[in-house]
Chains A and B, each alone.
Chain A
């Protein structure tokens, strides 16, 4: 099982629609969660961190469900400029006793907004 799994999409939705992505992770000890955005042939950039209580940034809402080990991203009133690949990112501790953790990416969900 992959450490971080996402639906690859593509999601093709009209401008103004609401779209939601889910991501599951396998390491129950994970403590840091993020959504990144990656435009074509560019490096990934942080979209938002995901907090236990859920958080919102404008049209974007991120939620974390620790019991089910998934995080979600909701985009409301989607814009043409939202077209990109959205990457789910989780920190993973190799061993329970280890104090070090690495950052693992999902394979990304491609979103295309049409006029």
Chain B
């Protein structure tokens, strides 16, 4: 399968625990995005990378959220000290960025996080 892959698909955690999600993008894509989606809303931008560089992190994100893409390939999103409000679907997408233009983004199936 050469699409975007996310693991795990589902995660249930207790409040206060740390969780880490992984995303493997399409191999030739240099841009990688993380989004969060709750019921009835569109995907909310969290952060994105061009190769290994993190270009922007949403102001809506607290310091409990961190993302890395150490070798410009896969990425991880970590949430520390989870809260019930963190429960959502976390979506990863990748695309090819060519200067100021981007090709369409392809999404993984998401990781559904439930904080109890």
A-chain residues with CB within 8 Å of residue B109 when the two chains form the complex: 42-43
Alpha-carbon gap, A29 to B95, bound state (A): 19
A-chain residues with CB within 8 Å of residue B45 when the two chains form the complex: 102-105
Is A99 an interface position by the 8 A CB rule? yes
A-chain residues with CB within 8 Å of residue B108 when the two chains form the complex: 43
Nearest B residue to A96 via CB reads B100
How many whole Å from B22's CB to the nearest CB in chain A?
Answer: 16
Is B71 an interface position by the 8 A CB rule? no
The residue that A103 contacts in the complex, of B41, B95, B100, with Cβ under 8 A, is: B95
Q: Contact check, A103 vs B42: say whether CB atoms are below 8 A apart.
A: no
Is A94 an interface position by the 8 A CB rule? yes
B-chain residues with CB within 8 Å of residue A108 when the two chains form the complex: 41-42
Alpha-carbon gap, A89 to B44, bound state (A): 11
Is B16 an interface position by the 8 A CB rule? no
Is B43 an interface position by the 8 A CB rule? yes
Proximity bits, A95-115, B CB within 8 Å = 1, else 0: 000011111111110000000
Q: Contact check, B104 vs A101: say whether CB atoms are below 8 A apart.
A: no
Is A44 an interface position by the 8 A CB rule? yes
B-chain residues with CB within 8 Å of residue A45 when the two chains form the complex: 107
Is B35 an interface position by the 8 A CB rule? yes
Proximity bits, B69-105, A CB within 8 Å = 1, else 0: 0000000000000000000000101010101111111
* Given contact pairs A105-B43, A106-B42, A108-B41, A32 touches B50 in the complex (Cβ within 8 A): no
Q: Contact check, A91 vs B101: say whether CB atoms are below 8 A apart.
A: yes
* Given contact pairs A31-B100, A100-B55, A43 touches B91 in the complex (Cβ within 8 A): yes
Alpha-carbon gap, A7 to B41, bound state (A): 12
For window 69-85 of A, CB contacts with B under 8 Å fall at 85
Nearest B residue to A4 via CB reads B42
Alpha-carbon gap, A85 to B46, bound state (A): 21
Q: Contact check, A34 vs B33: say whether CB atoms are below 8 A apart.
A: no
Q: Contact check, B104 vs A44: say whether CB atoms are below 8 A apart.
A: no
Residues of chain B having any CB pair with chain A under 8 Å? 33, 35, 41-45, 48, 50, 55-56, 91, 93, 95, 97, 99-110
